[in-house]
Amino acid sequence: MAFASMLRRASSSVLPRAIRAAASPRTFRTAVSTVLSTEKQCLGREIARRGFTSPLRFSTAAVANKDNLVRVLEAEIECAEEPCDSEVPAGFPFEIEDIDGERTITLTRKFEGETIKVEVDMLNVDGDEEEEEEDSDNNNANENNDKSTTSIPMVVTISKGSRQELEFGITAFPDEISVDSLSIKNPSSTEEQLPYEGPDFGDLDENLQKAFLKYLEIRGINPKTTNFLIDYMGNKDSKEYVNWLNNIKKFVQK
């Protein structure tokens, strides 16, 4: 429609010239040729004024952008940390379910009539990694500090075949486990129901807190387990990142 409109405007601007040309001694064919030539020039100027770009130019730019994106993705894949398999320690009490493409893993085990399920999320890493220290003692201290800020969130669910489950919200640091929440839940309850979930774990009596930590330790939720899981989730993060880059690359190349 826009192209036809331009053509009509260009034609109207040269119509008086055509009339004058037809009235002159020149032949009608010469007049028509003059009109078409003038009209073509006007149309060319109109197209240039409106900034029309050849579709071929757009196509070439799109291909170049696509190729450049693929090259950048390939460079990032090469630079990404090479994922490695985490060796499960001897006597590890849980079965690991790790599905490619998912950010969490699930651990399960049976213990004295109980079913224990642990959902583990990706690493949380806090702290300033840009600081540089000149002497090795300070460097070692910083490494320890960085390690202490690495953690993984976990949800531990313990059931005994009844309608209720005991659920712990946990943050696991290297060599340390912190319980964030503790509640007893009914899996069949609806979203409209708002059961009492107890006080904050940190508000409980200190002896009660220690007793719950021992309760978890006996069931396999201890620093030995969580230290392995921190390493495992770090490797999973690297693996999922590389897979994510490869999937994007394949999509762009289609």
Beta-bridge partners for 114: 111
Provide mean pLDDT across the span 27-43: 48
pLDDT in tens, 241-250: 999 999 999 9
Q: What is the mean pLDDT of residues 130-144?
A: 50
- The Cα 40–Cα 73 span in angstroms is 47
pLDDT at residue 72 tops 80: yes
Q: Model pTM? A: 0.67
Contacts of range 78-81, beta carbons closer than 8 Å, 24 or more positions apart: 80/238, 80/241, 80/242, 80/245, 81/238, 81/241
The full set of domains in the chain, from first to last, is 1-52 (no CATH), 95-253 (3.10.280.10)
Angle at 157 between CA 152 and CA 233, to 5 degrees: 25
Mean pLDDT of 52-81: 77
Q: 10 pLDDT exceeds 60?
A: no
Among residues 249, 226, 244, 240, the alpha carbon closest in space to that of 99 is found at 240
Please indicate whether residue 39 or residue 158 has the higher confidence score (pLDDT): 158
pLDDT at 71: 87
Can you read off the two tokens belonging to residue 250?
């394949």
* pLDDT value at residue 142: 52
Going through the chain in order, the beta strands assigned E by DSSP cover: 95-98, 105-111, 114-120, 124-125, 150-159, 165-173, 176-185
Confidence at 44, pLDDT banded by 50, 70, 90? low
